[in-house]
Amino acid sequence: MQKESFGIRFLYHTFLGRVILKFLTMRFVSVWVGAFLNTRFSKVFIKSFVKKNHIPLEEYYTDFHSFNDFFSRKIREEFRPIAKENHFLVSPSDGYLSAYKIEDGLVLPVKHSEYSISSLLQNENLASKYKNGVCLVLRLCVEHYHRYCYFCDGVKEKNISIPGKLHTVRPIALEKYPVFTENAREYTVLHTQTFGDVIQVEVGALFVGKIQNFHEEYSFTKGEEKGTFLFGGSTIVLLFLNNKVQIPEKFFQDTAKGLEHSVKMGEKIGESISA
């Protein structure tokens, strides 16, 4: 688990910090910040950001016109190979992986809080279909690659957007705020032959003014880009129906201990039950 910075602790554990946080998490602030980060003037922050977060720029295409161009940079294909076997479940993004079994409607028991699927989706009927299934959570930090791909072949429905407050998705935030139900998020149902109907949810975070999905209703292929996040840490949640995917038991065991696994986009993290 990553050590939290002084700034994050100040915002969430002091009175003054919480006053500032209330202002920072207003949507118009994220819009203003996002607009500035789309300008050429924001390029001045790239060099120090790369140094601080140890980002290997040689792995990326580097024609940046703004900070957001840099943040949503595209990686060279050889650095994110996709496990091609049809029955392999690959991670749709870089990030820290946690795994949960969906039991009694409780999905995400993180830092003494519990998040139900229905509150995540704001759709109780849809959520009920995933009882006894599997939930995977990928937490992205600022140093991660912020583009994400489709983890198999299939057809997607339209994107459903849910507005919300933009709190950080760092674990410390979960001590005081139900992050996954307050953050702006977007989800879609992915109809796949390999894993059945999977719900993918992209969750925005502090200063993420936009979740940029590239397609609405669409036929997709494994490894094809699905979208990108703009500046900030972010989260992807995957919901699988019962008896559709097999995830290594160590992921569930480590999650129960408060541990996360670092994974990269395209890396195998499970496989189809029918394999």
Average the pLDDT over 218-227 and give the result: 97
What's the number of domains the chain is made of? 2
Residue 140 shares a structural domain with residue 180: yes
Q: What is the mean pLDDT of the chain?
A: 84
Instruction: Provide the domain limits for residue 29.
Output: 6-71
Residue 247 lies in a domain: yes
The C-alpha atoms of residue 43 and residue 71 are separated, in whole angstroms, by 11
Residue 149 shares a structural domain with residue 18: no
pLDDT at position 80 is 96
**Higher confidence at residue 10 or residue 102?**
102
Residues near 185 by beta carbon (within 8 Å), at least 6 away in sequence? 120, 161, 162, 164, 201, 202, 203, 204, 211
The last residue of one of the domains, among 71, 93, 127, is 71
Residue 122 shares a structural domain with residue 229: yes
Residue 53 shares a structural domain with residue 148: no
pLDDT at position 148 is 97
**Higher confidence at residue 106 or residue 189?**
189
For tokens 């009175």, the residue is: 15
The last residue of one of the domains, among 20, 50, 71, is 71
Residue 128 shares a structural domain with residue 16: no
Q: Of 25, 1, 17, which Cα lies nearest the Cα of 232? A: 25
Residue 266 shares a structural domain with residue 246: yes
pLDDT at position 210 is 75
Question: Which one of the listed residues 30, 93, 234, 272 is annotated catalytic?
Answer: 234
Residue 90 shares a structural domain with residue 188: yes
Question: Is the model's pLDDT at 16 over the cut of 50?
Answer: yes
* 91 is a catalytic site residue: no
pLDDT at position 109 is 42
Residue 18 lies in a domain: yes
Q: Give the Cβ contact number of residue 171 at 10 Å.
A: 18
* 219 is a catalytic site residue: no
Q: Of 64, 75, 8, which Cα lies nearest the Cα of 37? A: 64
Residue 106 lies in a domain: yes
Residue 131 lies in a domain: yes
Residue 147 shares a structural domain with residue 247: yes
Residue 135 shares a structural domain with residue 62: no
Residue 15 lies in a domain: yes
The last residue of one of the domains, among 32, 49, 71, is 71
The C-alpha atoms of residue 157 and residue 178 are separated, in whole angstroms, by 27
Residue type, 92: P
Average the pLDDT over 241-260 and give the result: 94
Residue 31 shares a structural domain with residue 148: no
Residue 62 shares a structural domain with residue 87: no
**Higher confidence at residue 156 or residue 163?**
156
Average the pLDDT over 226-230 and give the result: 91
CB 251 within 8 A of CB 229: no
Average the pLDDT over 140-163 and give the result: 93
Task: Tell if the pTM clears 0.85, that is, is over it.
Answer: no
Question: Which one of the listed residues 30, 42, 69, 94 is annotated catalytic?
Answer: 94
Residue 64 lies in a domain: yes
Task: Lowest mean pLDDT of 1-10, 68-77, 123-132, 198-207, name the range.
Answer: 1-10
Question: Is the model's pLDDT at 15 over the cut of 70?
Answer: no
Question: Is the model's pLDDT at 50 over the cut of 50?
Answer: yes
Residue 23 lies in a domain: yes
| In the chain, % of residues over pLDDT 90 | 57
Q: Which pLDDT tens digit goes with each residue over 170-184? A: 665 556 555 544 677
Residue 130 lies in a domain: yes
pLDDT band for position 30 (50/70/90)? low
Residue 56 shares a structural domain with residue 88: no
